Amino acid sequence: MELSKMGLSISPSSTLAIDAKAKKMKAEGIDVIGFGAGEPDFDTPEHIKKAAIAAIEAGFTKYTPASGIMELKQAICKKFKKDNGLDYTPAQIVVSNGAKHSLINTFQAICNPGDEVIIPAPYWVSYPEMVKIAGGVPVIVKTSEQSGFKFTVDQLQQALTKKTKAIILNSPSNPTGMVYSKEELTEIADLAVERGVFVVSDEIYEKLIYDGYQHVSIASLNDKIKEQTIVVNGVSKTYAMTGWRIGYTASNNEIAKIMANIQSHATSNPNSIAQKAAEAAICGNQDMINTMVAEFISRRDYMVKRINAIPGLSCVTPKGAFYVLMNISKLIGKAIEGKQIYGSDDFADVLLEKAQVALVPGSGFGIDTHVRLSYATSLKNITEGLNRIANLLNKQQ
């Protein structure tokens, strides 16, 4: 019997695949150093856990309104005002099961079959697949290390067609750590308004930003672009709450309503207890963010310095998130431990097999000359992992 063509066209998440492989090796007793993590290695703060426990004890364990509870939506509105200078009403907020779910809802709300969505590469693995799930067509615009992994307005102009429905922005970016400036966002916003295309702005790494860089939400630039932007955010990365599964969107009323309707049939409300925890996270003490940021900066600095000292490898310094995109292009076409390296998948395989180091091949991010290392792991692990990479590559000299 014929199965769904759309379903068959979806590839598995490469970030989750490498993680699964590394975990399996660990379970077999092999000492693997994992650079695959897509989540902070910090614990969810105590006051957030307590809010969840209090919710359970108070019997807050039933269905809630499908698009989220009013108190959480109000807290999110306050956050947008305080952090981003954006005015939204609770009716414009949809709370979902993680930012991943918010993004899926977004594309389902805006795409018709054949609509094109522009995705700058390197991109987060899920974007093209999410667009396809919604019946859209991903249009990849390649960026390079030389341009700081940012696309130019000229590139955007060339990629725009009559079928373009939206552009995806992800700043700070996974996997590059790149951050767009206000000036760059203004140029993009002007073009989006002129051409009447939506901007899907994934701001999940908003708070993990370094070296004095400021996060600017493109929606805050003017009312016109705000009307055309769907801002995606969540508590996963900021509050070390990946397992709680709370993400949210802010958009115009019409889009919010469509998303809420879709969600009401697909999942109903996000977990009631996690919503209470998210409210406590957004309204409560924010000190842990500073602790996390300080720790990420020192790990990043160490990682970048070590990588750039290993012959054949290099990287640029990321300005946000917790990933380093390592350039392996000098090793492509060469052999490591007798295995020919044709691209990032081969490199990741050799490292896992011969050095017991797990990292994510860039192929899934649309950049086969690079691999992604997460520094959401202890400095001890980072040191040991980089020692192993250096030793393996030194043997080849």
Chain contacts with ligand PLP (rule: CB under 6 A): 38, 98-100, 124, 170, 174, 202, 204, 234, 236, 242, 247
Q: Rounded distance, CA 28 to CA 31, Å? A: 9
Q: In what order do the strands lie in the sheet with 370-374?
A: 314-315, 323-327, 370-374, 360-361
80 vs 124 by CB, closer to ligand PLP: 124
With CA atoms as reference, report the closest residue to 224 among 249, 200, 194: 194
350 vs 375 by CB, closer to ligand PLP: 375
99 vs 367 by CB, closer to ligand PLP: 99
- The identity of residue 219, as a single letter, is A
Q: Rounded distance, CA 237 to CA 249, Å? A: 15
User: Nearest distance from residue 16's CB to ligand PLP, in Å?
Assistant: 10
List the structure tokens of 205: 């790494």
292 vs 389 by CB, closer to ligand PLP: 292
Q: Rounded distance, CA 107 to CA 259, Å? A: 9
User: Nearest distance from residue 203's CB to ligand PLP, in Å?
Assistant: 9
Is the peptide bond preceding residue 172 cis, with omega within 30 degrees of 0?
A: yes
Q: Rounded distance, CA 81 to CA 271, Å? A: 25
DSSP state of 324: E
> Rounded to whole angstroms, what are the CA distances from 250 to 197, 254, 337, 341?
17, 11, 50, 44
User: Nearest distance from residue 127's CB to ligand PLP, in Å?
Assistant: 8
202 vs 346 by CB, closer to ligand PLP: 202
96 vs 220 by CB, closer to ligand PLP: 96
Q: Rounded distance, CA 14 to CA 358, Å? A: 12
Number of residue whose CB is nearest ligand PLP:
98
Place of tokens 């700058």: 120
> Rounded to whole angstroms, what are the CA distances from 285 to 47, 86, 90, 270, 280?
8, 21, 22, 23, 9
With CA atoms as reference, report the closest residue to 270 among 240, 248, 237: 248
User: Nearest distance from residue 262's CB to ligand PLP, in Å?
Assistant: 17
User: Nearest distance from residue 102's CB to ligand PLP, in Å?
Assistant: 8
100 vs 300 by CB, closer to ligand PLP: 100
Strands 137-142, 93-96: pairing is unpaired
Cα 233-235-236 angle, rounded to 5 deg: 100
User: Nearest distance from residue 104's CB to ligand PLP, in Å?
Assistant: 10
User: Nearest distance from residue 170's CB to ligand PLP, in Å?
Assistant: 5
Q: What are the strands, taking DSSP E only, across 129-246? A: 137-142, 164-170, 198-202, 229-234
User: Nearest distance from residue 135's CB to ligand PLP, in Å?
Assistant: 21
44 vs 356 by CB, closer to ligand PLP: 44
38 vs 318 by CB, closer to ligand PLP: 38
Q: Rounded distance, CA 48 to CA 74, Å? A: 17
User: Nearest distance from residue 349's CB to ligand PLP, in Å?
Assistant: 23
User: Nearest distance from residue 191's CB to ligand PLP, in Å?
Assistant: 22
88 vs 239 by CB, closer to ligand PLP: 239
